Chain A
Amino acid sequence: MQRRKFIKDTTLAGSALLASSLYPFNFLQASINKQTHHFTILHTNDTHSMLEPFANDAKYNAGLGGITSRSAYINEIRTVVEHVLLLDAGDIFQDSAYFNLYKGEPEIKVMNFLQYDAATIGEKDFSAGIDNLALQIAKANFPFIISNYEFTNTPLEEKTVPYVIIKKGMIKIGILGIGINLIDLIPNNFFGNTKFKNPIRTANEVAEKLKKENCDFIICLSHLGDKYDDDTLSDEILAKENFFIDLIIGGHTHKFFKQPRKYFNRNGYVTVVNQAGWGGLQLGRLDYKIQQTKNKNLHKNETILIREKNGE
């Protein structure tokens, strides 16, 4: 049907010879239209230095969580899935004795071992001061992405990046990071001269840049929190106010999402938001299917299908 239309168009252009000579191109286009790619995003947030599982006699979550167990789940997925992206949305530090004693070193070393691809910064990551955060980030094999903090003249200057681009198979994935405003949230001396840029404007600027770099998929790691009763900036607001973000991996509010939330952004496309509780109790997984197409007119209000994975 498409081919017939193509021939008709070229006939109108006035050359039957041209049509037949272009036949192979048409064939090529058809094959590109059908290219489907898969990749899997695994994510954590607000793990709060809880390297050990909750005690077996704990009132809540007894025996759950723990980094040795999280590693086993991640390893299992890696054995069956080729393209895995492992991400964290911040608050890696604070709230276990490990952090009080070691200030974050074992957390970072384990994340290196688990091959995290990227993380953003939460307010609790500053809890042993900005000097300590710089010291610990230097031990990480993965980038800390934060787009809206300005660290000039602080120990974190040039220790973080505003975005990264990671290729998984044929898919180019751009990742940015948006942090919460630290003023009145943590002691001022913890973040020193750190300046804050407008989160929505910055997210849109960086995402547009990633789009221009031909990223097929754009992720925002966010520590804003999923949503609030008042007009406090949240993932929900960012999801509605952005233009190019496909997925927001959130944190801060410690929410156990029953399923990812779907919003329509300012371009009329879908921005998905997900969050995986806290304390290392959960690991979120999103398997994306992407079709690369030469069709110029992508459907507005693209209805991405979100469904739960059935038993393997």
Chain B
Amino acid sequence: MPKLSVILCCFVFLHLSNKVQSQKTEVIYQTYTINSQEKNDTAITRLLKPYTDNLQKHLQTIIGFSTRALYKKMPESSLGNFLADGIKSIAEKLFEQKIDIACINYGSIKHFIPKGDIVMNDIYQLFPYDSYLVLQQIDGYNLQLFLNKIVEQGGWPISGIKLSIKDKQAVDILINNEPLNINTTYTLACNDYIAKGGNGCFMLKQLPSINKGFLLRDVVIDYIKQQTKLGNPIEAKTDKRITNTL
């Protein structure tokens, strides 16, 4: 019966070509909070040991010596001045250009520099997270807004500038010993956090920035090493670059 076998073949073909589909019926979720006090895999500890040991050695490397501890304080502090001056100096070297102002936000500094030997780890504690050094071209008008924002929050680490705080506004501003000019464009070195508008710095957000991936922490390490090489101890003082007018 050829007719029947043709029907049969067609049927079998149709049947097999009916593709297998996958139907997802259920998903059961669970989230594990990784608790190192509960369980650990010692195989990983062994695998990492050479890296961990070497890292500890690296973090204890002495890079400088301080005659006294440096702390941060508002509106101006020894630590703030040291960092801002160092950032300005190293930024000029890295970007190969003159920089008018260097500034980082107060909150970006997480620790202090202890008295005596300064080790790599101290700078990691100062800046535990990776943030970048950024250059911005800022006109006098926006610079005034930026400085107002800084004094409104109590005064941040800054270099290349002298100013007074009056009624929460920045007044008597001197840049390179000249009064702030609304029509002049200045070069500002700062951390990427405020350049992106962080901490209320909306006036910086709109400005183009140059970020070549230099870490702020590395910049400060560079500066300390440079001072040590020159035979200078790490010291800094307040010099009335930001003063409160009553």
Question: Chain A: residues with CB nearer than 8 A to chain B?
Answer: 13, 15, 17-18, 21-22, 25, 29, 32, 36, 51-53, 63-73, 75-76, 94-95, 97-102, 105-106, 109-110, 113, 127, 129, 171, 186-187, 189-190, 216-217, 246, 256-257, 259-260, 270, 272, 274, 276, 280-296, 298-299, 302, 304-309
In the complex, the answer to whether A63 meets B37 with C-beta atoms within 8 Å is: yes
Q: Is B230 an interface residue (CB 8 A)?
A: no
Nearest Cβ distance between residue A24 and chain B, in whole angstroms? 11
A272-B213 contact, Cβ under 8 Å, with A281-B33, A282-B33, A282-B34: no
Q: 3 shortest A-B CB distances, which residue pairs?
A: A53-B36, A71-B41, A216-B22
Contacts of B36 in A (CB 8 A): 53, 63-66, 68-69
Q: Is B246 an interface residue (CB 8 A)?
A: no
In the complex, the answer to whether A67 meets B20 with C-beta atoms within 8 Å is: no
Question: Chain B: residues with CB nearer than 8 A to chain A?
Answer: 4, 7-8, 11-12, 15, 18-45, 47-48, 51-52, 54-55, 58-59, 124, 129-130, 132, 211-213, 215, 217
In the complex, the answer to whether A288 meets B30 with C-beta atoms within 8 Å is: no
The complex places the Cα of A184 from the Cα of B78 at a distance, in Å, of 34
Residue of B whose beta carbon sits closest to that of A129: B213
Nearest Cβ distance between residue A164 and chain B, in whole angstroms? 18
Nearest Cβ distance between residue A278 and chain B, in whole angstroms? 12
Residue of A whose beta carbon sits closest to that of B210: A187
In the complex, the answer to whether A73 meets B47 with C-beta atoms within 8 Å is: no
Q: For A64, give its contact among B35, B45, B58 (CB under 8 Å).
A: B35
In the complex, the answer to whether B27 meets A305 with C-beta atoms within 8 Å is: yes
Contacts of B22 in A (CB 8 A): 171, 216-217, 290-293
A68-B51 contact, Cβ under 8 Å, with A283-B34, A291-B23, A291-B25: no
Contacts of B211 in A (CB 8 A): 186-187
The complex places the Cα of A70 from the Cα of B41 at a distance, in Å, of 8
In the complex, the answer to whether B21 meets A260 with C-beta atoms within 8 Å is: no
A127-B130 contact, Cβ under 8 Å, with A51-B48, A216-B22, A289-B24: yes
Nearest Cβ distance between residue A91 and chain B, in whole angstroms? 12
Nearest Cβ distance between residue B45 and chain A, in whole angstroms? 5
The complex places the Cα of A21 from the Cα of B15 at a distance, in Å, of 14
Q: For A294, give its contact among B19, B37, B42, B213 (CB under 8 Å).
A: B19
In the complex, the answer to whether A287 meets B55 with C-beta atoms within 8 Å is: no
Contacts of B33 in A (CB 8 A): 64, 281-282
In the complex, the answer to whether B8 meets A18 with C-beta atoms within 8 Å is: yes
Contacts of B48 in A (CB 8 A): 51, 67-68, 106, 110
Q: For B20, give its contact among A32, A189, A272 (CB under 8 Å).
A: A32
Contacts of B215 in A (CB 8 A): 100
In the complex, the answer to whether B44 meets A17 with C-beta atoms within 8 Å is: no
Contacts of A95 in B (CB 8 A): 129-130
Contacts of A306 in B (CB 8 A): 26-27, 29
The complex places the Cα of A131 from the Cα of B52 at a distance, in Å, of 24
Nearest Cβ distance between residue A39 and chain B, in whole angstroms? 11
The complex places the Cα of A270 from the Cα of B209 at a distance, in Å, of 42
In the complex, the answer to whether A69 meets B19 with C-beta atoms within 8 Å is: no
* Most central of B37, B44, B47, B54 by chain A CB within 10 Å: B44
In the complex, the answer to whether A287 meets B28 with C-beta atoms within 8 Å is: yes
Nearest Cβ distance between residue B93 and chain A, in whole angstroms? 18
Nearest Cβ distance between residue A219 and chain B, in whole angstroms? 12
Contacts of A67 in B (CB 8 A): 44, 48
Contacts of B8 in A (CB 8 A): 18, 21-22
In the complex, the answer to whether A270 meets B38 with C-beta atoms within 8 Å is: no
In the complex, the answer to whether B11 meets A189 with C-beta atoms within 8 Å is: no
Contacts of B42 in A (CB 8 A): 68
The complex places the Cα of A17 from the Cα of B4 at a distance, in Å, of 10
The complex places the Cα of A69 from the Cα of B33 at a distance, in Å, of 10
The complex places the Cα of A155 from the Cα of B229 at a distance, in Å, of 37
| A and B contact pairs by CB, cutoff 8 A, 12 listed | A15-B7, A18-B4, A51-B51, A65-B34, A72-B39, A102-B51, A129-B213, A287-B28, A295-B23, A299-B23, A302-B23, A304-B26
The complex places the Cα of A287 from the Cα of B213 at a distance, in Å, of 41
* Most central of A69, A76, A283 by chain B CB within 10 Å: A69
Nearest Cβ distance between residue B233 and chain A, in whole angstroms? 25
The complex places the Cα of A287 from the Cα of B24 at a distance, in Å, of 11
A101-B23 contact, Cβ under 8 Å, with A72-B41, A284-B31: no
